[in-house]
Structure 1
């Protein structure tokens, strides 16, 4: 009996020791605590493109353009982000503005598969010169300056010195799965391009992202995306008036669409896209004041001179860009 008791005691000690060792092993392999939540982040990037197209209309006279942006972000929670930003693009406007400078800010809440973006976007165009051939007064009775009449465009088009404006916007994106997502966008300005006319733009978007295994282990990704939008306008002030409408012209509303394919590698993206609108050359000229517009056959009620612009027609765009965030790429 004494031997049996000793054997039982020994087995108990071995069993207890084994359990204790197992406990030590589990504790040793326990995952470390998650890193502290850092709410601050910064996104920045740049691009070079063969043509700067904005809602179907070239902003660079169908010439190459460069752009860059800087966007500080504050994540209130993982599903709520506040942001401000500044961006710049090279342009070619009839008033010879030096560049487009964008200043913007907003909020990005996320609810499951739904991501929203609500904010205000300011478009600034410094360095412009007034081009005008009429009285030199706008609809508010403000004198545009003697430089207006002195700087007439050859084709008779006109443009104010300052065409800066702002828009309020709301965007919604729905992610179906890893491959499909769809969105809807809404932008409104009470004074589009400082013409005196309000502007409203609505569009729908779609994107298909290829499976990560499409190009093997190369790290190359691919997507196909498209957008269909409609731009509505009000009536300009008298600066842009014509004999039939001396107090201002009602700009033609138009549809625009684009479709393209993109390839990604790390922080780089190559996007190849086709863009077009249904604006006629005459109505395009009335809207853009294109300094390259020519001809006399593109007569419309708001474009009585018949000068026609190619700035709103079909265009192909190649864009190479890079995008980084401090929390992801610079750690």
Structure 2
């Protein structure tokens, strides 16, 4: 009798063991979600002023922009991309648009995100204009000295084509959900097709407020800032000047300058409202020599590279209000 009880107990235990095993054998891990490496980022913006490294590109007037960027994610930590963007501008050669074409690679290592690439700035629609012969700016298509020259009433000249290319590298470090910092480096062997090399370096910082700052409204907030320096070389002879202050017939040594901006932004779904202050330490005279501003005026802003003394406010303090929408196909179009 005792033997039968013992056998029954063993069988019961065996049955329990098998019963415990059954669910483990029957439940299969769900297959991994399919990985779609392709994505597209796109968006548009309207802004009260288009500021590029402390210098207005739109004569301190409103500007609109749009971009389109296909992306290929080799892995979750490595992305390849190409893109194009368009911004409305107001240049001295009367180019009305900036068309950017760019591409690069974005590797990520933990909290570090990098971005390396090439950026082409194209300015189609540049004109030749001779204010003196035609009696009024922008004048006709008459260029007595060079078919790539524009002559302005204030004495400035600008090439018809100021397109150029830069190579760049960026690094961003995310400390936590609230803080991140970055460094940027851009180099061009022929900045604005002026003959002068250009090198821009900056550091950035951004604080993102907790998602609960505005309760459950879905509104986010951030504060960000950038401090940078634009180094510039010597132009070609096209922009050369000769005066009692110096003989720069072979080209003018552009003044390098510091620039900075700080702003606060508010986000809601795909929209961002950014309010920003931008400035630089470039003087009005050296700003005029650098930008060839069509509305530069006066005779008191004399520098060695700006002997006529016309001054431009294109490099001074500016406030910018920008409303943008940014989307990705994988996130917003599913």
Distance 1:108 1:147, change over 3 A: closer
Distance 1:27 1:293, change over 3 A: farther
Which of 121, 128, 131 is the equivalent residue of 1:130? 128
Moved runs in structure 1, 4+ residues, more than 6 A? none
Conserved 8 A contact 1:131-1:158: no
> Does 2:295 match 1:292?
yes
**Matched residue, 1:325:** 328
Cα offsets for 1:246-274 (capped at 9, x unmatched): 11100100000000011111111111100
Cα distance in 1 for partners of 2:145, 2:5 equals: 110
**Matched residue, 2:274:** 271
TM-score by length of 2: 0.89
Shift of 1:321: 0.6
Which of 71, 74, 77 is the equivalent residue of 1:76? 74
Shift of 1:16: 3.6
Cα distance in 1 for partners of 2:210, 2:315 equals: 35
> Does 2:37 match 1:39?
yes
Shift of 1:152: 2.4
Conserved 8 A contact 2:156-2:293: yes
TM-score by length of 1: 0.89
**Matched residue, 2:90:** 92
Cα distance in 2 for partners of 1:159, 1:40 equals: 42
Cα offsets for 1:207-253 (capped at 9, x unmatched): 11111111111111111000000001111111111123111100100
Conserved 8 A contact 1:131-1:147: no
**Matched residue, 2:174:** 175
Q: Calculate the aligned-residue CA RMSD, in Å.
A: 2.4
Which of 311, 314, 318 is the equivalent residue of 2:317? 314
Structure 2, unaligned stretches of length 5 or more?
133-143
**Which has the larger displacement, 51-60 or 212-221?**
212-221
The aligned runs of 1:239-278 (5 Å cut-off) are 239-243=238-242, 244-278=247-281
**Matched residue, 2:223:** 224
Cα distance in 1 for partners of 2:175, 2:148 equals: 55
Structure 1, unaligned stretches of length 5 or more?
135-142
Conserved 8 A contact 1:132-1:158: no
Cα distance in 2 for partners of 1:131, 1:26 equals: 82
**Matched residue, 2:210:** 211
Cα distance in 2 for partners of 1:26, 1:320 equals: 55
Conserved 8 A contact 2:275-2:321: yes
Shift of 1:131: 5.0
Conserved 8 A contact 1:168-1:189: yes
**Matched residue, 1:12:** 12
Report how many residues are paired.
319
Cα distance in 2 for partners of 1:246, 1:262 equals: 46
**Matched residue, 2:139:** none
